[in-house]
């Protein structure tokens, strides 16, 4: 059960002019389950993406980067769940290329205008034939109002489909921003999450879109972690069709801040949904680290806390065993950290209590306050490093029996 999250209703996901989506059963994930998703974009669309930095990056990630390097006038995304096509060598690259060429053939575009994505088990051969056989059904299913179905079709161990949407009025025109994401385990994105796709019918030139996708990733998918495992397939792609009639030329264009904010909002909602649906999650935890010297040291501290199995199991147990948070801060790698300057607060529901200061437990801290806060399902850990004016925020979840169960049973 996700933590305080449910999939938006189909009518809350605004269609994006110039985008159609279709899903089909390819029999890759399991029988009688829609596991193939096709996005079709109108001519003139631009695309940009960020991808995993894992050195065993999946074959489709390699092909996505290759195609985007040739041109950003992307016409289609093809996504399967079930097999990741990662650690599959030359044969895997060939499978991803065939996926693109067969998709291009039925949609009438060039191979390089198709971006492929896969998610699922690593180190298993990719069943190209099954994917190709299902492409006509996915094409026949293409509709503008199919976001809800697409959000379901890209799921793996997700327990809930993830989607978000914003609509902005600019003059007499309407701009839509709608996206979907998937992921629940092997989540510690480094550039992007498992899979995230956002489309807008604003027109955005490739260079500006590339900057936007990076900025949006840095404020969303790059701030989440479930288990610290950076996946081989992480991909986050944004496509702008321009079909709304509203176009932006640069960061100084009128209304650009509004569209940028909408894009980041959607990305953050999709990213947080992944944490809320983290494998076995029962709590959504915000880790805010401030008063640091550099963004990287703040991130190191935030991730040390967010990855600590001891911190995560204490949150699962609703046990304010908060010394574990101090231990994580202490081993995060800031060699000249002055522990006596560090302060830590625990909060929920708009209230927070000072837990530690001057190298130890705060005199005002009472165990009963900690117990009360730990019972909540939305908890904030705030750390003041007492050495600078830089900060960062990371979102994570707790660590439960079900994480072990889900990952011990994944392939069975």
Catalytic residues: 193
Tokens of 61: 């990630």
169 or 367: whose CB is closer to a copy of itself?
367
Diameter over CA atoms, the chain: 70
* Residue 293 DSSP class: S
User: Interface with a copy of itself by CB under 8 A: which range of 26-34, 108-116, 151-159, 320-328?
Assistant: 320-328
321 vs 355: CA distance, rounded Å: 11
- Per-residue string for binding with a copy of itself, 206-245, x by CB under 8 A? ---------------------xxxxxx-------------
CB 309 to a copy of itself: min, Å: 4
**C-beta of 137 vs 362, nearer to a copy of itself:** 362
Kindly state the smallest distance separating residue 153's Cβ from a copy of itself, in Å.
22
Name the minimum Å distance from CB 317 to a copy of itself.
3
- Is there binding between residue 408 and a copy of itself (CB under 8 A)? yes
* Total of chain residues touching a copy of itself, rule CB under 8 A: 71
The reply on whether position 129 binds a copy of itself by CB under 8 A is no
Whose CA is closest to 236, among 203, 259, 258, 209?
209
- Contact between 70 and a copy of itself by CB under 8 A: the answer reads no
Among the candidate windows 106-114, 149-157, 256-264, 328-336, which touches a copy of itself by CB under 8 A? 328-336
Q: What DSSP line would sit under 145-191, residue for residue?
A: T-HHHHHHHT-SS-SS-EEEEEEEEETTEEEEEEEEEE-SSS---SS
CB of 305 to a copy of itself, least distance (A): 11
> Shortest distance, CB of residue 307 to a copy of itself, whole angstroms?
7
- Interface residue with a copy of itself among 139, 214, 361, 387 (CB under 8 A) is 361
353 — phi, psi (to 5°)? -125, 140
172 binds a copy of itself (CB under 8 A): no
> What residues does 115 pair with on adjacent strands?
77
Tell whether residue 388 is a contact of a copy of itself (CB under 8 A). no
Is residue 273 within 8 A of residue 164, CB to CB? The reply is yes
C-beta separation of 329 from 361 below 8 A: no
Q: Is 401 in the site for a copy of itself (CB under 8 A)?
A: yes
Per CB under 8 A, which of residues 240..279 are in contact with a copy of itself?
none
| Side-chain half-sphere CA neighbours of 323 within 13 A | 1
Would you give the DSSP letter of residue 33? S
Distance CA 97, CA 3 (A): 38
């Amino acid at each position: 059960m996700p933590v305080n999250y449910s999939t938006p209703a189909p009518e809350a996901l605004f269609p994006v002019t110039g985008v159609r989506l279709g899903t089909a059963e390819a029999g890759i994930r399991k029988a009688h389950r829609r596991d193939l998703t096709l996005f079709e974009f109108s001519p003139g669309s631009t695309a940009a993406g960020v991808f995993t930095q894992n050195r065993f990056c999946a074959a489709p990630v390699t092909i996505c980067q290759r195609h985007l390097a040739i041109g950003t006038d992307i016409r289609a995304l093809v996504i399967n769940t079930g097999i990741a096509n990662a650690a599959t060598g030359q044969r895997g690259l060939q499978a991803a290329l065939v996926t693109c060429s067969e998709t291009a053939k039925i949609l009438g575009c060039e191979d390089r205008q198709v971006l492929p994505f896969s998610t699922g088990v690593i180190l298993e051969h990719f069943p190209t034939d099954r994917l190709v056989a299902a492409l006509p059904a996915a094409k026949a299913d293409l509709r503008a109002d199919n976001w809800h179905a697409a959000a379901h079709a890209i799921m793996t161990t997700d327990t809930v489909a993830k989607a978000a949407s914003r609509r902005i009025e600019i003059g007499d025109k309407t701009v839509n921003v709608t996206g979907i994401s998937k992921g629940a385990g092997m989540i510690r994105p480094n550039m992007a999450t498992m899979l995230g796709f956002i489309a807008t019918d604003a027109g955005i030139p490739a260079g500006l879109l590339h900057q936007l996708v990076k900025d949006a990733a840095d404020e969303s998918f790059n701030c989440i972690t479930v288990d610290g495992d950076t996946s081989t397939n992480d991909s986050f792609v944004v496509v702008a069709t321009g079909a709304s009639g509203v176009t932006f030329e640069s960061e100084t264009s009128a209304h650009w801040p509004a569209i940028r904010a909408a894009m980041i909002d959607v990305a953050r909602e999709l990213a947080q949904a992944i944490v809320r649906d983290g494998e076995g999650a029962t709590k959504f935890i915000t880790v805010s680290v401030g008063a640091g010297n550099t963004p990287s040291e703040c991130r190191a501290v935030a991730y040390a806390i967010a990855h600590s199995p001891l911190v995560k199991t204490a949150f699962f147990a609703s046990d304010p065993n908060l010394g574990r948070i101090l231990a994580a801060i202490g081993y995060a790698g800031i060699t000249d950290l002055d522990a006596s300057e560090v302060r830590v607060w625990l909060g929920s529901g708009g209230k927070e209590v000072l837990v530690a200061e001057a190298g130890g437990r705060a005199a005002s801290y009472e165990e009963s306050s900690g117990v009360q806060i730990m019972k909540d399902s939305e908890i904030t850990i705030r750390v003041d490093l007492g050495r600078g004016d830089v900060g960062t925020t990371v979102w994570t979840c707790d660590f439960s029996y079900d994480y072990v169960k889900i990952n011990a049973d994944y392939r069975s």
